[in-house]
Structure 1
Amino acid sequence: MAEQTRNGLSVSFRLDDGIVEHNNREFIAKNVVRERIPDNITYKRENIREFYNQLFGQALAEYNARKAHPYQRIPDYYEHIGKGKQEKPYEEIVVQFGDMQDCGLNSENWETAKAMLDEYMREFERRNPNLKVFNAVMHLDEATPHLHIDFVPIVHSPNRGLPVRVSMKGALREQGFSSANRMENEWVAWQEAEREYMEEILHKYGLHRDDKNVHREHWTVDEYKRKKQAAQEIRSMNDHINALKKKSDDSYTSEEISAIKNQNDYMRSEITKRDEKIAALSRQVNADFVPYEIYSDDKLQYVADGLTRAKIPFIEESRMLYIPDYAVKTANAIASHYQSANVGTIRDRIALDIDRLIYSSMSVENLLSKLKERGYEIKHGKYIAVKSPFAERYVRLKSLGDEYLTKKLEKRISLNGTYARKVKERMSRSSEMEKKICSVILDTTVAIQQFRIIPKKTKPQKIYTFSNDESLNLLVEQLSTIGEFGIASRDGIYAKAEELKNSIDEKTEELKALSNEAPTLKSEIAQIRFYFENVQNRRRLDSMGQIRLAAAKEVVDKHGIRSVSEIAELEERLKLLPTYIRTVQNKLAEEQARLKRVNRLADVYESVIEGNYIDNLIRENIERQFNNKLCKCN
């Protein structure tokens, strides 16, 4: 019996959440022995996004080519999977032979455990052709040797969605695993097959499988006892009730009837929950996406946030959401609770009315006449006071601020044509593209003066002027973008956007390469040192040492290092990498900001040439007024 125990090792095969940065020691947990990090063996280390492009790039292109509408296409499959709820972007398993007592550092099985894990890893993808490994490392810097294997499960489905897509269940089915029932599914069958292979490896090394460490959920002793007792009580109660049901109806006691009724109620409750869940999932799978128009950016964001909280999928575009047809009522309910944040005080509204009327007034008296036409009452005295149709008391203009004193009003009125004159001057020397935007700027100023639009300030703390108008400044910003980027046509906008996207992609790749280089270079420097420290005594190394030395030799050859003194250049580059990364990050941020400006130009210009810009502002204004009335009613 003692011999059997000594030759027995447990096998541990478990699924993990998967933190690649931890596996690659980009951050270090407390249980890691830092001095032993260079001992770790990296089998594979690829960038997950690049790996996705290798696996799904062509399939994604074929899928998108079949979609007529942009909202139906998938721009980034990795992000698409990450935002979904059915699949994870990748899976991770942790594999281990033995435990700290029988395979820990300095134990008789330490080297054997390493060799067995190495054999398991090298055969993993041959056994599992649908599980594409992008990161795999053997950790030798913790208590016991173990493997972290990160992989993307793929399935081929030419008749549904992408011809190659992510699916763990589908991947396992293609590999021949099937589901007998809910408890004995593909996952369970696959895991058992992997454990059986681990057992075969044990036999090759003259060992057998000891199941003392069968993986279970991590419970404390008290938790385990409570769960076990509760499960036993439930089983006993069900057995008791099932026995009662065999009795004749007239022999039940009141307690027995109550127990049977409780069990029936519980079963009905569980069936109802199951049916509701199935119905919800069925609706999601079969739903059509329909457009849901919202002309206020604030309101659009409010509805989008509500849909997110309700876990309803949607696609967001300019002034529109595409939502599942079954969610329209929910979206309407969310929208009905929206309240504009721009109601403003009575004084603010009076000031804004005066600010707008200044642009069409010839004098202060003319301004006051226009206020009367809008329902104001005017009181002349030492200070002019006005009472708006939506107020109960008079307000002195002086109390609105210095800019509303008579002399200041006279000065502002004398300059009221300056803004339009500058726009017309700009228009006279502009390209056709710029002229269209200048024309809309002038039309917008007229709509503001005619009170067809309630303007919004760019800087709320300042008085309202055309130069402090959000919608006008958005148009002026587009003129600046056109001039700065030398854009001359509609096609030129999209060409510039494509150019910036390509530049961003290049800088993103450069940044990824530099970010990945730091830990890689650090590891390679350690390997080079290991090589020169052990190359003269290679015959004394064990089998794993020989493997490490061979791997280190490849690194030495890769960098053309002839002596340990030449490592200084690599160490200098490692020291400068953070500076290089910051430089590229800054350039990337600049390009992203430039692309954001060009995309904004595209949205605005499409609205301008379609003649919708002012109409959208007016519709937004109507919605805002309606919401203001709702606020008053509430």
Structure 2
Amino acid sequence: MLYTASVNCMTDAESAYLQMRLVYDQFAKDHFNSPPPLQGKGSVKAIHYIQSFATDDNVTPELAHKIAKAFLRKAFGDDVQAVIATHVDKDHLHSHIIINSYSLSGKKYYANRKSLKRIREISDGVCKAFSIDIHPNLTGKDKSINHKEWEHKKNGTSWKQQIRDEIDKLIPTVNSLDELLQMLEEHGYEVKRSKYISIRAPGQERFVRTKTLGDEYTEDSLNTRIRYREVGAGNTPEQTENSKLQAAYVAIIGDVRILAAQRKKVPRKRIVTAAYSVENDLDVYKLSAQIAVINKDNIKSVGDLQGRIAKLRADYEKQRREINNYIDAHNRLVSLWEQAQLFDELSSKDKLLDAEQLQLTICRQAMEQNNIHSKADIDHLRNQTYSLQTKINALKDTLEKTRQRYDVYCDIAKTYGEISKGDYISNLVEEEKHRKTQTNKKKPHR
């Protein structure tokens, strides 16, 4: 229920059914709840569309829901009666859109091959407006260079540097990689997520993978820079207890510091704008931050850590379900409040159009069913809506903190797994060897 919306009706199923039935019965020759005929096809009461996105389209639930609402208005106008539900329970995001086969003005909608072709074209157009690629061969080649790109080339500035600067500016303000990518989109950047993260600046012709921006901009590095930016310190923490977990971390931090000093590992910076040093090495800082968490949270063993991970996972699911229930109730209150406001507006008009008269009837029905009879009732409904939104926001903050702690604990468990198998140092050494090999290949032959 995180992503539901409705137009000219309530979002909950029972109320939407009653209000769609009212409109349908007004204009159709049969009744909305009439049974299907024994022979032949019955009349179409409602039409169901599914707008689906591939996993590599890099569409967030919020964006999919926004696209569905824009598509609905574009395809069917403002007097359509519809409910939208965007589902996130599958690998591919998809929105279910249910429309009444009659609009508030009595317009009949048809579902056939011709109408489906038109609907698909509108859907594609809306998706393109939101920078979603429909098919690679729709992108023309030999485009002329735009002014912004020409200006970059003229001034010798780099698209990559512009993206780096934007990422560096946003990292202190976000709590997760997903939030960083969302903020980039809000600042006009286009983002694609598949095997690698790719970004395109406003006016840039081609996407660039973040891993080509530098070792500080790979997905792992970005996660580390965000996750541990306020945790731990650059120096090796003292061992507070003689535990196997802490002892392994203290030993490995010393080894990684030696590798960093000898330039035998990838020189990732914690603070990108500062000179590289052992104290500014991202891997050293990550290990130091992780053992700081172990000490601060008094994690005594791997078993203790795994138990906390399991509890955090259960807490997260419980909190998520609780928030969904509150959001379901909030969506219903918002729909009801909107209808109450519309009722108040239409009631004050001297003369109503036929569609407005029908809207007034729908609103009156919703208010009667929910015991809203006066201005005081409407004010109480508004206060309920605000109060519930405040509660949802607080619960979302708690949920985000639970998720962050869960991510950190899982990261510590993964790191310790590599340490205990003897893979951590060897992976760093092999990574640096590979980096040097790739760098040498790019050097021009003399």
TM-score between the two structures when normalised by the length of structure 2: 0.48
Which one has a bigger Cα radius of gyration?
A: 1
Q: Which has the higher contact order (CA 8 A, sep 6+)?
A: 2
TM value normalised by structure 1: 0.35
